[in-house]
Structure 1
Amino acid sequence: MINPENPGFIESGRFRIIEVFALWEGRANTTHLQNILKISRQTASEIIRQYQKRHPINLAYNASLKGYVPTAEFTPHYSLGSIDEYNQTLLHSQHPEYVSIAETGFTHLDAPLRKISPALVQPIIRAIRDKLRLDIGYTSITNPEYESRIIEPHSLVFEGMRWHVRAYCCKNQSYRDFVLSRFNGEFAFEGPATHFAAQDENWNTWLELIIEPDSRLKPESRRIIEMDYQMENGQRIIPVRAALLMYLTQKLRLDHYQTTPEAQQIIINPECLKKIAPYLP
């Protein structure tokens, strides 16, 4: 179990900041740590010294840049190496130097979604952790009025736009996805659950979604698409749970076929489409 108060956990978080800035700004220095962690220069220097001691070949001091730059042998040990990680580090910092995403060239486009309150999530989290059956109010497109639903949730899923609850629905006697914002928060626990993630067939079934450039594109345009999606031999294979396949195809805009190849850009490999068709709407 991760303990945020554990010294090792805190140390890893601090080392992660060093790696994030070294990767995406080309240098890490005491100022980065001072601004984000609200610590003294002396403490920041000690953190960098500890990192250097732990991973001596990762960073080298550059006097002209007044910071530590990644070496050719740099390997991240605490960061994911994702640009989103750098973005989030800037976004969550409260220091004026980093709080403005615009100053670093980043812009956020937030979807106009309903804010999820902790009171709405708490009973669902408890039901998942303690394996409980939950009676909770829910509304849907087909049933606009709130009605009591008895569910046995096992996972929370964020598909890029909305949060969903994956749960066994006692009314429909099957595993289903429920949009989290459609619960009303009125709940009652109904004893131990009897259906769990291990019994959710679509949740435990892994598929391979194979995408490739639209064949209508010119060869030079297809090569650009291959680079965009980091394809190998003209394809990208994406592992996905069968229960989440629909969300992934929607996110990749593969749920509708566009009239022009420039608008479509990528398609599902025809043979792959035959295999995954039973799991699509």
Structure 2
Amino acid sequence: MLDTIPYAQRQRLAYIDFCLLFRGSVHRNDLVQRFEVGLSAGSRDFAMYKELAPENLTYNTKEKRYFQTEQFVPLFEHDAQRTLVKLANDISDGFDAIGDVHFPVEAPSTLNVPNIFIVARIVQAMLNGRAISVSYTSLSSGNVTRELVPHAIVDNGLRWHVRAFDRKSESFRDFVLTRVRAVNFVDAAPAPHEEAEADHEWQRMIPLQLTPHPHNIDYPKAIEMDYGMRNSLLSVEVRAAMAGYLLRRWNVDCTTNAALRGPEYQLWLQNRTTLMDVGNLAIAPGYDSKGE
């Protein structure tokens, strides 16, 4: 039946589906404002969605909002990788559910694609200020259960992870999304010290000064052009919590004297002292907190 519905209305139905999946609720005004349609048209869209998937939503008369039910099954297929990219760029329209225009541009093969329903539950928790209990497979502890207060989902260039306060270790940590097997909401509301504002590594921005590697590059002008450098210098600001990921992804030599050799090290971190008191730097190439 979806194939017989006009494209514009399918977009709006996909948006309703997307909001129910990732937010857990949707208001008629959300639809009206997003697509600039009248209230009557919005009402018809919700009526159509309820006809197609009657078990997916329930209306709360007090809040005047539709909520996801426990029996919810997405009406559209939401591709995990594309949806994560859209969420990361604040393009939460759900249009991928009905197919975007495809351009002849290829991306690297993706080996790490999280379960879309796991992602949806975590996003719901973040948007609604909820804590969650997750079944997680840890490299050091195997299968464990953790109570988390998530506040961000991040692409570190190699895989997706969720940044969250871990109630067991009482600290903010990164958890790989593909290692999460199940997510459930818990009643214990987040405390102020568990929320994003208290994540100092996340809130703190640090400057990185990158230059062409002084020993591994014969023609540094090529590197300057690759990274849009000015006077052989690229200055970027990054969250302290993300610094290690960026330095690893770009294979930045973090040694004091640019000591790493090999064609993969095309950049050198000129101001390595900026990394003082930054955690998660074990993956930064050549970084030694002692400065050796």
**TM-score normalised to structure 1 length:** 0.60
Query: Corresponding residue for 2:107?
Result: 108
Measured at CA, do residues 191 and 8 of structure 1 come closer, stay the same or move farther in structure 2, by a change above 3 Å?
A: same
Measured at CA, do residues 6 and 143 of structure 1 come closer, stay the same or move farther in structure 2, by a change above 3 Å?
A: same
User: Is this contact kept in 2: 1:139–1:183, CA < 8 A?
Assistant: yes
State the Cα distance separating 1:5 from its structure 2 match: 5.1
Measured at CA, do residues 255 and 162 of structure 1 come closer, stay the same or move farther in structure 2, by a change above 3 Å?
A: farther
State the Cα distance separating 1:268 from its structure 2 match: 0.6
Partner AA of 2:190 in structure 1? A
Partner AA of 1:169 in structure 2? D
Partner AA of 2:119 in structure 1? V
State the Cα distance separating 1:276 from its structure 2 match: 1.0
Aligned length: 187
Post-superposition Cα deviations, 1:107-141, rounded to whole Å, max 9, x if no partner, equal 3321222x322321222112211212211111111
Superposed CA RMSD in Å reads 2.8
The correspondence of residues 232-271 of structure 1 with structure 2, limited to 5 A, is 232-254=230-252, 258-260=260-262, 262-269=263-270
User: Is this contact kept in 2: 1:202–1:242, CA < 8 A?
Assistant: yes
Measured at CA, do residues 263 and 130 of structure 1 come closer, stay the same or move farther in structure 2, by a change above 3 Å?
A: closer
Q: What is the DSSP-based 3-state SS (H/G/I as helix, E as strand, rest coil) of the residue aligned with 1:128?
A: helix
Rg larger for:
1
Partner AA of 1:214 in structure 2? H
Separation (CA, whole Å) in 2 of partners of 1:197 and 1:276: 21
State the Cα distance separating 1:249 from its structure 2 match: 0.7
Query: Corresponding residue for 1:200?
Result: 199
Q: What is the DSSP-based 3-state SS (H/G/I as helix, E as strand, rest coil) of the residue aligned with 1:112?
A: coil
Match among 148, 151, 167 for residue 148 of structure 2: 151
Separation (CA, whole Å) in 2 of partners of 1:212 and 1:278: 22
Does 2:206 match 1:174?
A: no
Measured at CA, do residues 134 and 7 of structure 1 come closer, stay the same or move farther in structure 2, by a change above 3 Å?
A: closer
Query: Corresponding residue for 2:158?
Result: 161
Separation (CA, whole Å) in 2 of partners of 1:222 and 1:119: 46
Query: Corresponding residue for 2:219?
Result: 221
The correspondence of residues 1-281 of structure 1 with structure 2, limited to 5 A, is 3=30, 6=33, 92-93=100-101, 98=103, 101=104, 106-113=105-112, 115-144=113-142, 146-194=143-191, 195-217=194-216, 221-254=219-252, 258-260=260-262, 262-269=263-270, 272-279=271-278, 280-281=281-282
**TM-score normalised to structure 2 length:** 0.57
Unaligned runs of 5+ residues in structure 1 are 11-87
Partner AA of 1:267 in structure 2? W
Q: If each structure's helix is expressed as a fraction of its own residues, which one has the higher value?
A: 1
Partner AA of 2:228 in structure 1? Q
Unaligned runs of 5+ residues in structure 2 are 1-26, 38-95, 283-292
